[in-house]
């Protein structure tokens, strides 16, 4: 699979729903170390709603479908992280307006817009130990892959590695936002829970494309 079609979106969001259901308790535990312990619940609710939105949308193009999925997340999970992921999906979907499929170039545009949307909404900076510290490497990696004409599987594989490296780097950072900011020193040595969500998203996207390619 070198591009994701509109007809593939329901399967992708089903995979995302299942991943965040499976990771619910792990995210609760990770978030509970210095946060509110609600991240796993938030992401589970959010991606259930996103899947239901996408599955029920048979008429809109890819970009609009993603925007509406983001709106569904915002409604189902109106917490800080839910709002950030919702904003990312809506901005990313808007960047794909007019796109007939989701290839490497479109993937780069989507994640660049996702990153900017989260940055604008969350007011964080790179190095603040947040989701941005994973989204930036993802966006930069996909921009590079697009400029080199890489196929989608290879582009996403490189983005996954960039995201994992970004997540590892958060262990050396001190939290500056949210409840975790009250435990600044204690956050050093821990991977950021929000950034973990970003890694799970790009890993799921890559795995879906790989599986779809092998089944065709």
* Interatomic CA distance for residues 12 and 25, integer angstroms: 22
* Interatomic CA distance for residues 43 and 197, integer angstroms: 8
Fold (CATH) for 6-214: 1.25.40
Query: Residue 178: its pLDDT value, please?
Result: 57
Q: Mind listing the pLDDT tens digit for each residue in 146-168?
A: 999 999 999 999 999 999 999 99
Q: What are phi and psi of 130, to 5 degrees?
A: -140, -175
Query: Residue 173: its pLDDT value, please?
Result: 82
Query: Residue 113: its pLDDT value, please?
Result: 98
Helices (H), 96-183: 104-122, 132-147, 152-170
Query: Residue 37: its pLDDT value, please?
Result: 80
Flag whether the pTM goes above 0.85. Answer: yes
Low-confidence residues of the chain: pLDDT under 50: 181-182
Which tokens in the block code for residue 194?
């929000």
Query: Residue 216: its pLDDT value, please?
Result: 60
Query: Residue 31: its pLDDT value, please?
Result: 85
State the burial class of residue 11 (Cβ atoms within 10 Å of its Cβ: 0-12, 13-18, 19+): middle
Query: Residue 213: its pLDDT value, please?
Result: 75
Helices (H), the chain: 9-22, 24-32, 39-55, 62-76, 80-95, 104-122, 132-147, 152-170, 184-187, 193-214
Hey, where are the domains in the chain? Answer: 6-214
State the burial class of residue 149 (Cβ atoms within 10 Å of its Cβ: 0-12, 13-18, 19+): exposed
Query: Residue 197: its pLDDT value, please?
Result: 97
CB neighbour list of residue 215: distance below 8 Å, 6 or more residues apart? none
Query: Residue 7: its pLDDT value, please?
Result: 95
């Amino acid at each position: 699979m070198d591009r994701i079609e509109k007809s593939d979106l329901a399967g992708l969001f089903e995979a995302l729903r299942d991943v965040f259901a499976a990771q619910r308790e792990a995210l609760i535990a990770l978030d509970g170390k210095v946060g509110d312990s609600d991240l796993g619940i938030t992401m589970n609710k959010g991606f259930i709603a996103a899947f239901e939105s996408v599955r029920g949308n048979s008429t809109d193009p890819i970009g609009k479908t993603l925007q509406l999925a983001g709106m569904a997340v915002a409604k189902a999970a109106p917490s800080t992280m839910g709002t950030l992921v919702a904003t990312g999906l809506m901005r990313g979907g808007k960047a794909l307006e007019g796109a007939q499929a989701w290839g490497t170039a479109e993937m780069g545009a989507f994640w660049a817009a996702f990153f900017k949307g989260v940055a604008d909404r969350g007011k964080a900076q790179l190095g603040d130990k947040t989701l941005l510290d994973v989204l930036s490497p993802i966006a930069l990696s996909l921009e590079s892959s697009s400029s080199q004409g890489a196929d989608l599987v290879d582009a996403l594989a490189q983005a996954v590695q960039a995201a994992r490296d970004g997540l590892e780097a958060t262990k050396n950072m001190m939290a500056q936002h949210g409840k975790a900011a009250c435990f600044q020193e204690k956050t050093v040595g821990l991977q950021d829970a929000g950034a973990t969500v970003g890694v799970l998203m790009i890993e799921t996207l890559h795995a879906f494309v790989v599986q779809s390619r092998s089944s065709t």
